[in-house]
Structure 1
Amino acid sequence: MNNPASPAVARTERRHRLRRWALGLVLALSVPGGLSWYGHSLVAPHPEQFASGVSRDAPALKTIRQTALAQTFLRDFRVQEHWSSCGPASLRNVLASLGRPVARERDLFQGDTLAWLRMAVTGMTLDEVAALAESTGIGQVQVRRDLSEQALRTLLGSLSTPGRRLIVNFDRAPIHGVSLGHFSPIGGYDPASDRILLLDVTPGFGVQLVPTALLSEAMNTQDPVSGRSRGLIQIDAGPRDAD
């Protein structure tokens, strides 16, 4: 996996993670409904806040949903099981699209209960989700940061490459009007309208067409936990019999 964090960045990320743990535990113990209330209050969809050009019902959406890549996802697409598990949910959907289904998000952690509980309380960073993907043995996993719009379009144009999948990490604010880090897989690209098929794993948001420029803006933001730029995870799966 490329783009490893420097020791200084890793120390900063650990400090931020401890703060996330503290916040999560306070919410769990002091708020009625605990973490489920906290997550729901942040991510409840408000379509009237969606940015111009983001669509859940455009004619182009119906067309792109029928493409081969989109169909590999939609045959067994599942929303996230927990408010904090958008990263593992995205990875589970990628694996299912490649014919390697996982029954539960927790199974991705391969018995590491501490890592699972940490995710449940604090969520995950881009590098953490990439490491989780790499641990499945799916194939080559790359973290891509600071992509220009044109570089993003070029990468989107390569989605027909067998076994290639993309998981995007972005701030919802430019797209959905609420500032919150999020993960979702990309299910296709429509060059005619220059829009991306975003397979949002949060219940209620649904499959959307998002302008490339808008998703690029949302990706090129800083994750306050890691102190690093958001971006995407590129997965190039190896042959099934190589597992």
Structure 2
Amino acid sequence: MALCIGLGVALTAMLPLGPTALAQPGDTIPLPEPQGQTLLMQSVDRADYGPLAEQFLTQANPAYCGVASMVMVLNSLAVPAPPAPGYGRYRFWTQENVFESAATRAVLSAEQVARRGMTLQDLRALLASRGLQARAIHGDRLSQAQFRLLLRSNLSQSGDRLLVNYDRKSLGQAGGGHISPVAAYHAASDRVLILDVARYRYPSVWVPLADLWQAIRSTDSSSGLSRGVVVVRRI
């Protein structure tokens, strides 16, 4: 499952906020750095970047990476939302009101997610409970070429989204299972931009596609299945 806690809060507080401290499997490049910005500007497959960046948010607690990612997807696809408490007549999805429907709570409650995180199939089912078309693909079912094709197809059009459930260690980061949206692909360097929802810990970062492919093929000890991706679109 994706707990998003990694090695624990105490160790997290001691680590630098960027990925450079532990990054080794591939040459990760934080988006805020000039080179990261250059990769974004050169990317052809970046249709999802604008809508997702506009709705970017930090996960509300260490286990809510999947929830924050789901809320970003719902808002960026303009899925009709309930009122947001404290904002009067304005309606948008939050990490609280996303659990208001009985259909969503039937999949997982907010308390369950806060306690144990979620698996790839949990993420798919939660998105589907909000009326989205969601397809989970386990990483061990994808060749590297198939993963690249899936990324490029998804990121070249703005009507769908792609969430990745991956093992941080495969990217040279501290921690375990994590979930975040991907926003762009840079063909010349074969890198993928992850908008990391744990931004108190790591910035959005460009990672080698080969490393991310390995990271989604890792086994989730909770389900006994590989991690993977969820492809999302409005019905």
Give the TM-score range, shorter chain: 0.7 to 0.9
- 2:148, 2:44 → 1: CA distance? 19
1:205-236 per-position Cα deviation (integer Å, ceiling 9, x unaligned)? 12111110000011100000111110010112
The equivalences for 1:63-212 within 5 A come to 63-64=42-43, 67-100=46-79, 102-111=92-101, 112=105, 115-138=109-132, 140-145=133-138, 146=140, 147-159=142-154, 160-203=156-199, 204-212=201-209
| Structure 2 counterparts to residues 226-237 of structure 1, below 5 A | 226-237=223-234
Give 2:218's aligned residue: 221
TM-score where L is the length of structure 1: 0.75
Q: Which amino acid aligns with 2:71?
A: R
Please tell me the residue identity of whatever aligns with 1:124: M
Alignment of 1:53-68 (within 5 A): 53-56=27-30, 57=33, 58=35, 59-61=38-40, 63-64=42-43, 67-68=46-47
Aligned length: 204
Partner deviation per Cα, 1:21-61 (whole Å, 9 max, x = no partner): xxxxxxxxxxxxxx9x9446358545221233210122214
Other structure's SS at 1:105 match: coil
Q: Pick which of 98-107 and 47-56 moved more.
A: 98-107
**Cα pair 1:164 1:235 within 8 Å, conserved:** yes
My pick for the range that moved more, 145-154 or 61-70, is 61-70
**In the TM superposition, what is the alpha-carbon distance from 1:68 to its structure 2 partner?**
3.7
1:209 partner amino acid: W
Q: Residues 3-30 of structure 1, C-alpha deviation per residue, up to 9 Å, x if partnerless? A: xxxxxxxxxx9xxxxxx9xxxxxxxxxx
The answer to whether the 8 A contact 1:169-1:230 is kept is yes
2:27 aligned partner, one-letter code: G
Higher mean alpha-carbon deviation, 209-218 vs 42-51, is at 42-51
Q: Structure 2 length as normaliser, TM-score?
A: 0.78
- Paired with 1:70 and 1:40, the residues of 2 have a C-alpha distance of 32
| Residues 215-224 or 160-169, more deviating | 160-169
Structure with more relative contact order (C-alpha pairs < 8 Å, separation 6 or more): 2
| Paired position in structure 2 for 1:9 | none
Q: Which of structures 1 and 2 has the bigger CA Rg?
A: 1
Distance 2:163 2:9 in 1: 21
- Judged with a 3 Å threshold, the aligned counterparts in structure 2 of structure 1 residues 63 and 161 are, in CA distance, closer, same or farther, namely closer
Moved more, 220-229 or 153-162: 153-162
Shift of residue 90 of structure 1?
0.6
Instruction: Confirm or deny: 8 A CA contact 1:165 1:234 kept in the other structure.
Output: yes
Task: Point out the structure with the larger helix share.
Answer: 1
1:161, CA displacement in angstroms? 3.5
Deviation at 1:84, TM superposition (A): 0.2
In structure 1, distance between residues paired with 2:28 and 2:44 = 15
Distance 1:189 1:235 in 2: 17
| RMSD between superposed Cα atoms in Å | 2.6
Moved more, 104-113 or 124-133: 104-113
Letter in 2 for 1:110: E
CA distance in 1, matches of 2:63, 2:77: 24
Distance 1:192 1:66 in 2: 11
